[in-house]
A and B are shown apart, each in its own frame.
Chain A
Amino acid sequence: QKEVEQNSGPLSVPEGAIASLNCTYSDRVSQSFFWYRQYSGKSPELIMSIYSNGDKEDGRFTAQLNKASQYVSLLIRDSQPSDSATYLCAVNLGGGYNKLIFGAGTRLAVHP
């Protein structure tokens, strides 16, 4: 069983719409959760991090965490063509070594 699962997509949304990206994880001891954005041919860059149940908002981005359901999501409001990228969900299991487990990523395509 994969430890971090994401729908590979592509998720296609029109410009201005809300894009909803989902991620589930298998290990209940997971402590912190990260969303990275990766443009084609580039390195991953951090978009959001979340550690507690509930919502966390930063500009057009909202991360949502539900530890009971082992589910974390990223909402992108007012999607722009520049948001087109692969979004990687990463989970830190804790345990002292800061080890991140990544999902395979969801490709988002925002069309004008």
Chain B
Amino acid sequence: DTAVSQTPKYLVTQMGNDKSIKCEQNLGHDTMYWYKQDSKKFLKIMFSYNNKELIINETVPNRFSPKSPDKAHLNLHINSLELGDSAVYFCASSRVTGAAQETQYFGPGTRLLVL
């Protein structure tokens, strides 16, 4: 009965490689998010999609490209990985956008280590 799931859970890769992280939610939510949590535990939003449309696009290197094939899925592709990309990436979802009181539910996270 996982609400927000992510794959893979761990990802260890070499600098310069390209990798993807996948996220799926079965809550029927319209909005999904990608967050990055760095080594100091600071959680920062990267992207948000509402029903497959990109609505939040923070200042993130263009090596990061999100894709939402449908409103239940949000993927993150990272090109030319760098050491500084090492972090935990969390996917989240919420019922709607535009409602400031909506709770965001987080997935288990993907721990990316770039060597």
A joins B in a complex:
yes
Q: Is the CB of A96 within 8 A of B97?
A: yes
Q: Which of A44, A46, A94, A97 is within 8 Å of B56, CB to CB?
A: A97
Q: Is the CB of A97 within 8 A of B41?
A: no
The verdict on A98 contacting B99 (CB below 8 Å), with A104-B41, A104-B42 known, is yes
Q: Is the CB of A49 within 8 A of B56?
A: no
Q: Is the CB of A105 within 8 A of B41?
A: yes
Q: Identify the stretch in B60-68, B71-79, B105-113 within 8 Å (CB) of chain A at 4 or more residues.
A: B105-113
Interface string of B93-104 (1 = CB under 8 A from A): 010111111111
Whole-angstrom distance between the Cβ of B25 and the nearest chain A Cβ: 13
The verdict on A43 contacting B100 (CB below 8 Å), with A99-B48, A99-B56, A102-B43 known, is no
Count the A-B residue pairs with Cβ separation under 8 angstroms: how many? 63
Whole-angstrom distance between the Cβ of A38 and the nearest chain B Cβ: 8
Q: Is the CB of A99 within 8 A of B106?
A: no
Q: Which of B42, B56, B98, B107 is within 8 Å of A102, CB to CB?
A: B42
Q: Complex: how many Å from CA A104 to CA B44?
A: 10
* B residues contacting the other copy or chain, number (CB 8 A): 26
Chain B: CB-nearest residue to A107: B41
B31 interface residue per 8 A CB criterion: yes
Chain B: CB-nearest residue to A40: B41
Chain A: CB-nearest residue to B103: A46
The verdict on A43 contacting B90 (CB below 8 Å), with A88-B43, A97-B55 known, is yes
Interface residues of B in 26-41 (CB under 8 A from A): 31, 40-41
Inter-chain contacts of A84 with B (CB < 8 A)? none
Q: List 11 A-B contacts (CB under 8 A).
A: A31-B101, A32-B100, A42-B108, A49-B101, A92-B101, A96-B98, A97-B55, A98-B48, A98-B99, A104-B41, A105-B41
Q: Which residues of B contact A (CB under 8 A)?
A: 31, 40-45, 48, 55-56, 90, 94, 96-109
Q: Which residues of A contact B (CB under 8 A)?
A: 31-32, 34, 36, 38, 42-46, 49, 51, 86, 88, 92-94, 96-102, 104-105
Top 3 nearest A-B pairs by Cβ distance? Answer: A31-B100, A43-B106, A102-B43
